[in-house]
Amino acid sequence: SKKAFIFDLDGVIVDTAKYHYKAWKKLANDLGFDFTEEQNELLKGVSRVRSLEILLNIGGVNLPEEEKIKIMQDKNEHYLQYITQMGQDEILEGMHEVLLYLKEQTIPFSLGSASKNARLILNQLELIDLFDAIVDGNDVSKAKPDPEVFLIAAEKLKTTPENCVVIEDAIAGVEAANIAGMVSIGIGDKNTLNEADFNLNSTSELTIEMIKELIKE
Ligand code: B16
Ligand code: MG
């Protein structure tokens, strides 16, 4: 039966990880410790609250709850300074074509992201109107690898999990898709994302040919 697609945002449609990194690094440095790009890998696909926990753990820093809320706000404000400068030129290779092709074929698709800034980002990229549904960090109570985000997306697309194809770059996201009973496509290192049904090195490998194969009924 008819397929539907669910796209992760960061690492699949756009590389916002570099901006998250700059903002978390500044926060770490202000707190008196370093935060490397390698350590930043741990934050991919992870919620904002969980990201802060991981960061503070790296620095061996303990903070009271109110302080954590305050610095998360500061981090987000810093992050937004980068995000609000973004344009269509930052869409990852091939992804605009894929979205336009699905639209043309009337294949429904949703966003399935952990980010609370997802709508703002899709606006900046001028992609928001293409999506049939958007499910983001504001809509879920349980973060990936919990399948909630993708199950809500399937519901919004009026389809069932087994008809959904999820495109993800994070381990937690691939896991969530698998638990949901969806087809998972991992973008990135195939050893890291070895649980995915299909592995691609980068978004440029998600070709129209591959999409055609995936939507064959
Ligand atoms: P925000 P995704 C995730 O987006 C990012 O990968 C992750 O690094 C970030 O902490 C999370 O969004 C929350 O983002 O602070 O904007 O709410 O990959 O699920 O699209
Ligand atoms: Mg991601």
DSSP 8-state assignment for residue 92: P
Taking the chain (217 residues) in consecutive chunks of 10 residues, what is each chunk's mean pLDDT? 95 97 98 96 92 98 98 98 98 98 98 98 98 97 96 98 97 96 97 97 98 92
pLDDT at position 208: 98
8 a catalytic residue: yes
Phi, psi torsion values for 178, nearest 5 degrees: -65, -45
189 a catalytic residue: no
Residues in contact with ligand 1 (CB, 6 Å cut-off)? 8-11, 20, 43-48, 51, 76, 113-117, 137, 170
pLDDT at position 105: 97
pLDDT at position 190: 95
pLDDT at position 79: 98
DSSP character string of 12-36: TTB--HHHHHHHHHHHHHHTT----
pLDDT at position 136: 98
Residue 86 neighbours by CB distance under 10 Å:
18
115 neighbors 136 (Cβ within 8 angstroms): yes
pLDDT tens-place string over residues 113-130: 999 999 999 999 999 999
pLDDT at position 76: 98
pLDDT at position 210: 97
pLDDT tens-place string over residues 167-194: 999 999 999 999 999 999 999 999 999 9
Complex ipTM: 0.93
Atom of ligand 1 nearest to the CA of 20: 8
